[in-house]
Structure 1
Amino acid sequence: MNGAATAAPAAPAAPAAPAVPAGRAAATLATAIAPAVWGTTYSVTAELLPEGHPLFAGLMRALPAGLLVLALTRTLPRGAWWVRAGVLGALNIGVFFPLLFLAAERLPGGVAATLGAAQPIVVALLAVPVLRERPSVWRLAWGVIGVVGVGLVVIGPTAALDPLGIAAGLAGAGAMALGVTLTKRWGRPAGVGAMTLAGWQLTAGGIVLLPAALLTEGVPDGIGAPAVAGYLWLGLVGGLLAYTLWFRGIGTLPVTATALLGLLSPLVAAALGVLLLRESFTGLQLTGFVLALAALLAGQITPSRARGARVAVSATREESRRDPGLA
C-alpha cells in the first residue's frame, strides 16, 4: 500500500442555477418593451385619435407599417407560410386591433386593460393542447394573481361595464392568446428575421381590416396633426417596433412567461393616468400594483423544484457519461 489514502469520489455538487440566466434576462427586458409601449394605446386613443373609428385606427396601425417592412426587406412568405402568416396576422392584428380599440372606446381604460390582462391565463391553457406542454400551475396561478392585481389598480368603484366593451376585451385577449401560442408553435422560417415576420403579420392583418374599416366607418373627417402623430406612434412604435421585439421574444422565451409580460401594458396605462391626469394611487391600488408586478416577475422564474429536477437529471447524465457502468 502506498501512503496516500484512497478517497471516495465526491458527489458532484449541483450548481445553483440562476432564476433567470443572463441571456434570458436580456431577452426578457427587450421583449418587455413591447407591452410597455402598448400601454400607451389607451392614452393615445383617448387623447389624440378621432372617436368612433376603431377599425380605421387598427388599419392605420397595421397596414402602412407592414407594407414598409415588405418594401425594405423584399421578402415574401413561401409555401405554408402564406397561410400561416395570414392566420397569425388575422389573430394578432386583424381581429385583435379593432377589438382592442373598441374596448378602449366603450370602457374606461382600466377595465379594458384588466380584460386584456387575462391573456396569460388563456396562453397557459392553450399551451397544453397546442404546444403539448405540461400544465404550468405556477404560471397559471400567477396569471390569476396578475389579473387580480391589475383589477385592483385600474378598476374604480364607478367604472362603467358596457357589455359590448367587455365582450370585445375578452375576445381580443383570446384572439391574441391563440396567436401568441401558434407563433410559438410555428416559429419562423430559416433566415427570416423577427421584423420580417412582424411585417408579414401587420400586412395580413391590415388587409383583413381594410374592407371592414372602409365599408363600416370610412375615413374620419378632419384628421389633424394630433391624430397624425397618434397614428404614427401606434404604427411605427406600437406596431412595427413592438411586434418585432414581441415575436423575437416569443421565439426565445417560454410562451406563458412571455405572455405574463403583457401585464406591463395595463400598469403603464395606469401610470400614465397618474402622470398625465394627475391622479393618485390609493392604498388598494398600490397593493394591486405590487401584486401585478410580483406576478410578472414570478412568471419569468422556473420554480425551484423543477430547476432542481433538471439539475439532477443533468448531473446523472454527466455521471453516466463518465462511468458507463452507472447507466
Structure 2
Amino acid sequence: MALDRAANPVMTLSKDGGCHMALRYWLIIVALAFGWGSSFFFNEILLRELGPLWVAAGRVSMGALGCWVWLATRRRIGWVGWPMVGHLFVFGLLQYAVPLTVYPLGQQVITSSAAGIINAMTPIMVVVVSHLWPGGERATVLKSIGVVLGFSGIVLLALPSLGGVAESSPWGLLFTMIAPLCYGLAMNYLRQMDAMDRAALTAWSLALGAMVLVPVALVTEGVPHIQRAETWAALLVIGFVLTAAAFLVLFWLIPRIGGTTASTITFIAPVSSLLLGVLVLKETVLPIQFLGFAVILGGLLFIDGRLFRVWRKDQPNG
C-alpha cells in the first residue's frame, strides 16, 4: 500500500514514519463486520416464519435487486456475453446460493453464535482450497499452522455437542462447514473474472443465484406467507443492507485501504454473532466453545501473518 498521501488520501504519515488509516475507514470496517456477523441473528428471526430455502432465496433476491438498482442509477448495466454468464452462474452458486442456503438449514439444529464462529473458517478454507487448486497459491508454514489451529477450534466447538451438553448438533456443525468451503472455492474461481467490475459481478451472480433458489424454494416449501412485521424487517435488512449495500460498500472500500486491511472484517464479524446470540437470543456458549473460538482466531492470525511480520521487523538485527 503506497504511503504517498497525495496518491492515497486514506493513509497519513505519523511522526515516526509509520502510517495510519483514517478513522472513518476503520469505522466502516467495524460496521461491515458487525453487520455480517448479525446476519446469523436475522436468520433466526426469519426461520420463525419462513423455511430455510425461502430465507436464502429472499436474501439473495433482494440483494440482487439492490445491486441492479444501484447499477441502473449509474447507467452501468450492460451485457457480459454468454461465456461470462456461465462463469457468473458457477460463482453465484458457490458464493451466494449454496452457502446462504447452508446457514439457515444448519441453524435449524445449531445456534446462530455457532454459525458465526464457523463462518470465521472462511479464510482457512481459502488457504486449503488455494493450496490444492491448479495454479493456486501454496500454503506457507504460517498458513499451514493457521489451518491446523482452525480445524482444532472447530473440534473444541463441537466437543460439548458430542457429549449432549450443548445446543448445537455435531452433525449440524459439520454440515454448516460446507458454507466456508464454498467460499473457499468461490474465491479461487473468482480468478476467471478478474477483469470484471465487482459491482456488476455481484449483481449478476446474485441474480443467477436467485434464479436457482426461488424455483427450488417454491417447489419444496410452497408460497411463503409472511404475517409478522419483524420478518419483513429482518428480510429487508439482510437483503438490501447486509447483502446489496454491504458488498457495494466493500468494493468501494478495498481500493482505498487494500484487500489485506479489509480482511480484518473476518476477525470482527464473529464477535457480533456471539453477542447477539448470547445477549438477545439467550443462547448458551460454554467455556470450551469460547476456547474454540479463540483458537480459530489464533489460526486467522497465523494466516493473516501481519503480526508476525511486525514482530520480525521489531527484532534487533543479530
Gaps of 5+ in 1: 1-15, 309-327
CA distance in 1, matches of 2:211, 2:185: 20
Superposition RMSD on alpha carbons, in Å?
3.8
CA distance in 1, matches of 2:70, 2:293: 40
User: What's the offset of the Cα at 1:201?
Assistant: 1.9
- Name 1:10's counterpart in structure 2: none
**1:125 pairs with 2:128:** yes
Distance 1:68 1:249, change over 3 A: closer
CA distance in 1, matches of 2:109, 2:57: 19
The one-letter code matched in structure 2 to 1:253 is: G
**1:253 pairs with 2:289:** no
Distance 1:248 1:105, change over 3 A: farther
Q: Deviations over 1:202-257 (max 9, x none)?
A: 212111211101111123334321100010111012211233345567884259x9
The one-letter code matched in structure 1 to 2:309 is: S
Q: Deviations over 1:257-302 (max 9, x none)?
A: 93x7435333321122333256787765665555444444554334
**1:107 pairs with 2:105:** no
Q: Deviations over 1:287-324 (max 9, x none)?
A: 5555444444554334439987xxxxxxxxxxxxxxxx
TM-score by length of 1: 0.70
The partner residue of 2:169 within 161, 170, 178 is 161
The partner residue of 1:265 within 269, 272, 275 is 269
Q: SS state of the match for residue 106, structure 1? A: coil
The one-letter code matched in structure 2 to 1:121 is: I
Gaps of 5+ in 2: 1-15, 314-318
CA distance in 1, matches of 2:30, 2:188: 17
**1:187 pairs with 2:189:** no
CA distance in 2, matches of 1:135, 1:27: 30
Q: SS state of the match for residue 304, structure 2? A: coil
CA distance in 2, matches of 1:207, 1:53: 18
Distance 1:62 1:71, change over 3 A: same
CA distance in 2, matches of 1:181, 1:295: 20
Q: Deviations over 1:104-134 (max 9, x none)?
A: 1222234433443332222102223355323
CA distance in 1, matches of 2:234, 2:158: 23
Please say if residues 123 and 177 of structure 1, whose CA atoms lie closer than 8 Å, have aligned partners that are also in contact: yes
The partner residue of 1:219 within 217, 223, 226 is 223
The partner residue of 1:60 within 58, 63, 81 is 58
- Name 2:143's counterpart in structure 1: 139
**Residues 2-151 of structure 1: matches in 2 within 5 Å?**
22=20, 30=28, 33-51=31-49, 53-74=51-72, 75-79=77-81, 80-128=83-131, 129-130=133-134, 132-146=136-150, 148-149=152-153
How many residue pairs get matched? 285
Larger radius of gyration: 1
Q: SS state of the match for residue 138, structure 2? A: coil
- Name 1:232's counterpart in structure 2: 236
Please say if residues 117 and 293 of structure 2, whose CA atoms lie closer than 8 Å, have aligned partners that are also in contact: no
CA distance in 1, matches of 2:272, 2:158: 11
The partner residue of 1:196 within 200, 223, 242 is 200
**1:176 pairs with 2:174:** no
Q: SS state of the match for residue 132, structure 1? A: coil
Q: Percent identity?
A: 24
CA distance in 1, matches of 2:150, 2:268: 10
The one-letter code matched in structure 1 to 2:230 is: P
